[in-house]
């Protein structure tokens, strides 16, 4: 259940429209990311990892601002400060990287998180917390893929395209971590109002009806 190019563009436009009316600084930052597509939050995460100079998985205010600026986030200085202050709960002048990204994801019900976890677990055949092309073989069916049917793409090419869906354009490593999988579907979840419909889409996409 990956977004088609057309769906991706509609998703970006909806997020951009919501951004025009958002006033909460965290919500505005979330929508800025989502207006770049379902991988928008992952792109910001990558910038933050680059600016985490000491690798302690914490960001001070300078690293935080540098990451936002490098990603081209159009927030005022006041909004950046407000976001940072909200997540600096212990007043240590740093924010926890993983906690920040977890809270930046669009909120999801436990039911949605559970079905996403089931889908990831089915694809991760080796149970090592990462999905590879080898994991997908025999699980992700390419036989209905248009380019496979017309002979333009091989099965391996179709599997790689699926993996690339979850990667940012400038960092394609051919792996899907659970965090990347969750980030992607939390973005898609934001455009689906009803839990039962989201659940049905995930079950149909990944053959989870017996789980």
Is it the case that residue 160 has pLDDT exceeding 80? yes
Which residue bears the tokens 């933050």?
48
Is it the case that residue 6 has pLDDT exceeding 80? no
- Indicate the pTM of the whole model: 0.71
pLDDT in tens, 117-127: 999 999 998 89
CA distances from residue 26 to 29, 82, 128, 164, 196 in whole angstroms, order as listed = 5, 8, 33, 28, 27
What pLDDT band is residue 211 in, cutting at 50, 70 and 90? low
Residue 83: closest CA among 44, 140, 127: 44
CA distances from residue 86 to 25, 94, 169, 196 in whole angstroms, order as listed = 10, 11, 30, 33
Residue 4 DSSP code: P
Is it the case that residue 170 has pLDDT exceeding 60? no
Which class is 110-205 in CATH? mainly alpha
Domain ranges of the chain: 5-104, 110-205
What pLDDT band is residue 190 in, cutting at 50, 70 and 90? confident
Report pLDDT for 3.
Answer: 63
State mean pLDDT over 191-201.
Answer: 88
CATH fold group of domain 5-104: Recoverin; domain 1 (1.10.238)
pLDDT in tens, 54-113: 778 888 999 899 889 988 888 899 999 999 999 888 888 999 888 888 888 888 999 999
Say which residue, 179 or 80, is predicted with more confidence.
80
């Amino acid at each position: 259940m990956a977004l088609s190019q057309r769906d991706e563009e509609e998703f970006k436009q909806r997020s951009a429209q919501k951004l025009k009316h958002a006033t909460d600084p965290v919500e505005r930052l979330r929508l800025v990311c989502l207006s770049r597509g379902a991988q928008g939050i992952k792109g910001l995460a990558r910038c933050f990892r680059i600016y985490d100079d000491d690798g302690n998985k914490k960001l001070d205010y300078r690293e935080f601002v540098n990451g936002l600026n490098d990603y081209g986030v159009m927030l005022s200085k006041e909004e950046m400060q407000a976001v940072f202050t909200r997540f600096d709960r212990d007043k240590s002048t740093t924010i926890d990287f993983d906690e920040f990204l977890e809270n930046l994801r669009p909120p999801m019900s436990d039911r949605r998180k559970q079905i996403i976890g089931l889908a990831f677990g089915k694809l991760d055949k080796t149970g090592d917390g990462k999905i590879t092309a080898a994991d997908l073989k025999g699980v992700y069916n390419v036989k209905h893929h248009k380019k496979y049917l017309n002979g333009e793409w091989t099965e391996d090419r179709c599997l790689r395209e699926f993996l690339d869906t979850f990667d940012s354009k400038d960092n394609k490593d051919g792996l899907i971590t659970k965090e990347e999988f969750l980030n992607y579907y939390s973005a898609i979840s934001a455009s689906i109002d009803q839990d039962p419909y989201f659940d049905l889409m995930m079950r149909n996409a990944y053959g989870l009806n017996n789980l």
